[in-house]
Structures are given as C-alpha cells and as structure tokens.
Amino acid sequence: MGLREIKPGYDVYLHGDPALGVSSTFNSGIIVTSEGVVVLDALGSEAIARQAREAISRVTSQSVCFLISSPFHQPFTGGNTVYADAFKIGHEHYREDLLRLLQRPSAEERRKKLPDVTFRDRLTLYLGGKEIQVLHLGRAHTRGDSIVFVPGFSPLYRPSGFENWEPGNRSVSRRADYQKRVEYEFCVL
C-alpha cells in the first residue's frame, strides 16, 4: 500500500492489517509544509511507523515536527515511539486512555508514547503557511478521537476507526451523531 499523494503537500500512508481474515486498512495522514511535517496517527507498530517515516523522507527533506494522535489503541499508537523526536499532540481523553494502557512500560517508554500537550475542544497549528486545526467534536470511535481540518483543503483527516464502524456495532448510532456534528461544524465555519 504505502504513501499516496492526495494533492501536493497532503499525503496518506496506508497500511493493511496482515492478520489472516482481517480486511482493515489503517492510515496515517501526512501534511508537508515548508517548516516541517505533521503526521496524524503513528499506526500499529514501530516497524510500520519506520516504514512511514522512510516514505515521508523520500518525498520531503523536512523533518517530522508534530505527531497528532487520535484513537488511543494499538492500531494507531503502536508506532508512537518512532516519533519520540516530534512534539506529540492528543486530546485529553486520548492521553488518559493511553495512560491506562501503559501501566507496565517504563517512565521513559511512557514519555515517548504520551502526548506532550493535550487539548479539550480545538488546537490550531500555524506551520509553513498552513493553518492546521485539530478538532474534538465529541466521541467517535473512541472518546478522544479528533479530526484535522486545513481550511481550503478537502477532505478532512479523520481517524481510521471512524471508517471501520459496521452495521450491528453498538457504536453505529454514535457514528451518525458524530457525522452530524462534523457536517454542522463545517457548514458553520
């Protein structure tokens, strides 16, 4: 799968789940600016995150400055330590939930995985002439899920878990509510 350009400066790194019988695809959004790179979700393992970083280095000489994380569980955070040199951002619930998963790792390991800063409703980065909005519109797949919006650019970056809801899953009604909030937010902006 690998790195795919959406449009210049906006890419997605796609990785399929190798488990037998699993057809999930996980993605990591990448925003390239003249001042650095923003990565959205670190994917499921250090090996996959290293592959993503190698792919990024083939399309830009800019370093990864920020890692924005959304769902707290393994398919999205297993590669966080590969971005230990980046400033890490996550919703306050993301941090709380990830911390619960990190009971056994050392303090150093937790430092490499946990966000450096959290936010409640929104956070805006201004990097390389781009305004990058990180928005929490309520619970989606997990209670700390966030979307990333760059004015003048469509589509939104949403966590992969948002796409993986299936009929019969108790979170489907939350998905509909979440989608309405997304549509409302972006009709108003």
**CATH number assigned to the domain with residue range 2-188, chosen from the 4 options 3.20.20.70, 3.90.1480.20, 3.80.10.10, 3.60.15.10:** 3.60.15.10
Q: Are strands 117-119 and 87-91 parallel, antiparallel or unpaired?
A: parallel
Domain boundaries along the sequence of the chain: 2-188
How far is the C-alpha of 104 from the C-alpha of 57, rounded, in Å?
A: 33
Please state the pTM of the whole predicted model.
0.81
- The values of phi and psi at residue 133, to 5°, are -95, 130
- Class of residue 177 by CB neighbours under 10 A (exposed 0-12, middle 13-18, buried 19+): middle
Q: Is 144 helix (H, G, I), strand (E, B) or coil?
A: coil
The string of pLDDT tens digits covering residues 22-47 is 445 678 889 999 999 999 988 888 89
The pLDDT value given to residue 180: 53
The string of pLDDT tens digits covering residues 36-86 is 999 998 888 889 899 999 999 999 999 999 999 887 666 677 888 899 999
